[in-house]
Amino acid sequence: MHRRDCRSFVLDGDNVRHGLCGDLGFSVHDRQENIRRIGEVAKLFMEGGMIVLTAFISPYRADRKRVREMVEDGDFLEIYCNAQIEVCEARDVKGMYKWARAGKIVELTGISLPYEVPEQHDLSVETGRLELDECVSQVMGELERRGVIDKPA
């Protein structure tokens, strides 16, 4: 998006957890609060004219719905990055799944806590079987189709 001169910002789970949400753990309540805070920050950026991409595990439908309701109709696109649990484990550079399987982490989405698959997502990207370039292309195509960004000249 930056290469296309789009005013955009990415909020990522790791960088937000170290600052804005550094006081939160991984309980159900803390996960809900994490997503609420992210939604509020994204809304502020959007009000400033930015396109905001949020990259978070948001396991509960109710939380995703709540954030969607924070912003104007059409300004929230839920992109389901679909990958089987085995793919998530293989990509896990922090070793969280390994620790959860060993019982060292008790609250991990997909292992001991549920992930509620989106029922009304705007786009589903099969990240477990597609190359990164194709995933990015699908997201950019959806943003172009909706008029969020211009098609390249």
In a domain, 152, yes or no: no
Could you give the CA distance from residue 141 to residue 145 in angstroms, rounded to a whole number?
6
CB environment 118-134: b (16+ within 10 A), e (fewer) = beeeebebebeeeeeee
Q: The CATH number of the domain where 43 resides is what? A: 3.40.50.300
The pTM score is 0.86
Catalytic residues, which ones?
A: 58
Among the listed residues 99, 98, 105, 39, the one whose alpha carbon sits nearest the alpha carbon of residue 66 = 39
In a domain, 140, yes or no: no
Q: Which domain holds residue 82?
A: 2-132
Model confidence pLDDT, tens digit, residues 70-118: 988 878 999 999 999 999 999 999 999 999 999 998 888 888 888 999 9
In a domain, 89, yes or no: yes
Number of domains making up the chain: 1
In a domain, 83, yes or no: yes
pLDDT, residue 4, reads 87
In a domain, 54, yes or no: yes
